[in-house]
Amino acid sequence: MTDLSIADRHYLMDHIYLIEGVQRNLLKAVKVNLAQFGNVVPHLHWHVIPRFSWDLRYPNSFWSDDMRERDDAYLAKLAELYKMVPEYHAALLDAFIKHSIGDKAVECGCH
């Protein structure tokens, strides 16, 4: 992140927080895990992971061991979430479009 200019860091974080907001509002995530990585090959990528009280590892890290069994109730909730994928993608696209209408892309020189 420190390799980026301050403007580009702000631009990137605006978008990460935008994704987090969509996950919290639309998916009703109780919290969102944010993680950045750039291991081995020089690069930067982010994980923006919605968390739910019913997920197998909650409240521990997404990468922790399961704390609960995969039962029918869990599978049903997961299936409901998967059904929301098209709506989630549409909400992300809408949020990104509304965000980019402003002058932010021009201000940071990212486009």
The yes-or-no verdict on residue 110 having pLDDT over 50 is no
Q: What are phi and psi of 59, to 5 degrees?
A: -95, 5
Domain 6-108 coded CATH 3.30.428.10? yes
CA 96 – CA 22 distance, rounded (Å): 10
List pLDDT tens digits, range 42-54.
Answer: 788 899 999 999 9
Beta strands per DSSP E along the chain: 31-37, 45-51
Report residue 8 as tokens.
Answer: 């580009």
pTM here is 0.82
Cβ-based neighbour number of residue 59 at 10 Å: 11
The whole-number pLDDT of residue 100 equals 81
The yes-or-no verdict on residue 102 having pLDDT over 80 is no
The whole-number pLDDT of residue 53 equals 96
Domain layout of the chain by residue ranges: 6-108
